[in-house]
A and B are shown apart, each in its own frame.
Chain A
Amino acid sequence: AQKITQTQPGMFVQEKEAVTLDCTYDTSDQSYGLFWYKQPSSGEMIFLIYQGSYDEQNATEGRYSLNFQKARKSANLVISASQLGDSAMYFCAMRELNTGTASKLTFGTGTRLQVTL
C-alpha cells in the first residue's frame, strides 16, 4: 500500500532564506507521481509541483523545486527566497499510475511553514 510520511509538523524560516520540507514515500509500484500542495489559512488546496517516477531531472516551478531521490524514496520540497506569503500548510502526495489505483492520491499529514521577518 502506498504511504506518505512528513516528519516535520512545523517549520520556521526567515524571509528570503531557503527552506526544505521533507517527504518520504513507500510504494511497490515502479510508476508513480509525486505532488506538493500548499494550503494557506484560507483553506484552498493549491498545486505547486509534480515529479514523475521516470523523470530524470528534478522538477522546478519558479521558486519551488523538488529534490527527488528515488533510491531513498524521498521527494523533498525546496522553497527558495521565502516570502511571507509562503506561510501555509504544505502537503506531499503520491499517485500510483497503474490502472487499478491511479485515481487515488495519498497525502501525508502536512508541514506547517511559518515565514518570519
Chain B
Amino acid sequence: NAGVTQTPKFQVLKTGQSMTLQCAQDMNHEYMSWYRQDPGMGLRLIHYSVGAGITDQGEVPNGYNVSRSTTEDFPLRLLSAAPSQTSVYFCASSYSIGGGYTFGSGTRLTVV
C-alpha cells in the first residue's frame, strides 16, 4: 500500500516554463487536495477535489490548474512558472468528510 505518491521530489524551473506535478493515491479516497508550504505561512490550499470530475479552487489558485479524471490521480499544472511559485507542494487525500488527510512526501519546486 503506497499511500499518496508525489513526483518529482525536486524540480528547478525557469520562469515561464510549464510543468505538471503528479499525485496518485491507491486508497480509493474521494477527497484530494494540493497545498503549498511557504516559510512562516503554514500550508495553504491551492485546489481540491471531492471526486472524479469535480474540482474547485482553494485559497491560492492563481497560476495553477487541476483536473481529476480518475479517483486515483490529481495532477497539478503550473501554466507559466514564476519565482513566487517557489515552494514546497503537498498533495493529500482523505476517505471521508470527517477523516484526516494523508499527505504525500512533497515536491520542492524552485523557479529561477
A43:B105 contact, CB within 8 angstroms: yes
B103:A45 contact, CB within 8 angstroms: yes
Q: How many residues on the A side are at the interface (Cβ–Cβ under 8 A)? A: 24
Find the B residue at minimum CB distance from A105: B101
The majority secondary structure among interface residues of chain A is strand
A107:B43 contact, CB within 8 angstroms: yes
Chain A residues, Cβ within 8 Å of B49: 103
A97:B98 contact, CB within 8 angstroms: yes
A109:B106 contact, CB within 8 angstroms: no
- B36-68 CB contact bits vs A (8 Å, 1 = yes)? 000011111100111000001010000000000
Closest CB pairs A-B (n = 4)? A45-B103, A107-B42, A102-B97, A107-B43
Residues of A with Cβ closer than 8 Å to B? 4, 33, 35, 37, 43-45, 47, 50, 52, 91, 93, 95, 97, 99, 102-110
